[in-house]
Structure formats: C-alpha cells, structure tokens
Amino acid sequence: MERTATRPTTLTTLPNVLTYGRIVAVPLMAACFLLLEGDNAHWAALSIFTLACLTDWLDGYLARILAQQSTLGRMLDPIADKLLVGTALLLLVNDGTIDYITIWAAIIILCREILVSGLREYLAELNVKVHVTRLAKWKTTVQMLALGVLLAGPAGEKLISGVTLTGTMLLWAAALLTLWTGYDYLKAAVRHAIDN
C-alpha cells in the first residue's frame, strides 16, 4: 500500500516552530543575563539573542519557500520580535548599559512597538494592510545589531574597545528609524479614522 505524505498542521510547520523557539528564548536570555555572573552572563545572553534573531529571518524565509505562511505565523512573529526587543532593552537598562540620555532611545523604541501593535489591530479591523517596507526591515536589522552589541557590553569591551559606544550609536540610529517607520502606520490609521 502506497503512503501519501501528509502536510504538517499550521501549529507544527517549521516556520511556526521556529517562532515558538524565539518566544521561549526570551525568558532563557533573561535568566542567563540576570542569574549568571560576569562575562558569562553577557556571552550567554548574546548567544541566545543571536540565535533568536537568526530564527526571525529564517522563519519568514522558510514560510515563503515552503509555502507555509499562515495567519498564526503572521500573528506570532511580531509578538515574538517585540518580546525579544522589549526584554533585551529592559535587561540593558537594569544593567546600566543603557542609561542617562540613551534611555530615551529605548523609550522611543518601546513606545513605537506598543503604538504599532495597537495601530495594526485597529487597521486589521478595517481590513487595511500596511505592508512591511524595506526601511522597516533595515530598522529591525539595526535594532537587533544594536541590542546584540550592547548585550556583549563589558565582556565585548575586553575584546574590542568601543563596543558599548558602537552599540549606543546603533541604538540611536534604530530609534530614529523606528520613528520614521512608525509614522507609516500612524498615517494610515489617521487617514482611515478620518474617512470612517
């Protein structure tokens, strides 16, 4: 008797499993950063963060080439990203790596993420889609790079001088891109709110 291949359910497709892994990585990263000591805390948190960032790219790529895009994946992917970014920012503020005026960059990024989540929900109710722009992808790349460099922090400084300064500069660049790309969502939401 010939066996036929069965398609995985939406819950168990590889892209969605990678997204689940990114969500699970968030508390693991926090535990490493808060519970381990010295350089080990920074390297362990950075390793987990880096793997999580790679799954962010990989799950979208695999969903497209395997034709496994799903509503569940579209819902969970931005949630996983926001959990990862928000947690990394909180850990770095708690650690003092992000302090003084740079806290404003973290506030801009967090506020934009919350604002965009609300606007996406509002626009979805109106059946309006705001597509991810190339600039938004650059924003995500710069943001993840900045957070990764800052997670290395003092451990990274021992290898390369100026790591924290570089991470801080990248964080400000990400904050500016965050404002710019958030404006697209706000503009679409305001336009539809006025029309309706």
pLDDT of residue 11: 79
pLDDT of residue 101: 95
Residue 2 domain flag? no
Phi, psi dihedrals of residue 4, rounded to the nearest 5°: -105, 140
Could you tell me the pLDDT band of residue 2, with boundaries at 50, 70 and 90?
Answer: very low
Here the tokens at position 177 are 């891109």
pLDDT of residue 1: 44
Residue 172 domain flag? yes
Poorest-confidence range of 41-50, 104-113, 119-128? 119-128
| Average pLDDT of the segment spanning 115-137 | 76
Distance separating alpha carbons of residues 39 and 156, to the nearest angstrom: 9
Residue with tokens 């960059």: 105
Closest CA to 95 of 24, 35, 27: 35
Residue 72 domain flag? yes
Residue 62 domain flag? yes
Q: Kindly list the distances between the CA atom of residue 72 and the CA atoms of 10, 12, 156, 160, 161, in Å, as whole numbers in the listed order.
A: 7, 11, 37, 41, 43
Could you tell me the pLDDT band of residue 106, with boundaries at 50, 70 and 90?
Answer: very high
Residue 37 domain flag? yes
Residue 124 domain flag? yes
Number of domains within the chain: 1
The domain in which residue 124 lies consists of: 10-195
pLDDT of residue 8: 59
Residue 4 domain flag? no
DSSP one-letter code for 6? P
What pLDDT, in 10s, does the model give residues 52-67? 999 988 888 888 898 8
3-state SS, residue 169 = helix
Arithmetic mean of pLDDT over the chain: 87
- Give the CATH number, domain containing residue 57: 1.20.120.1760
- Inform me whether the pLDDT recorded for 6 exceeds 70: no
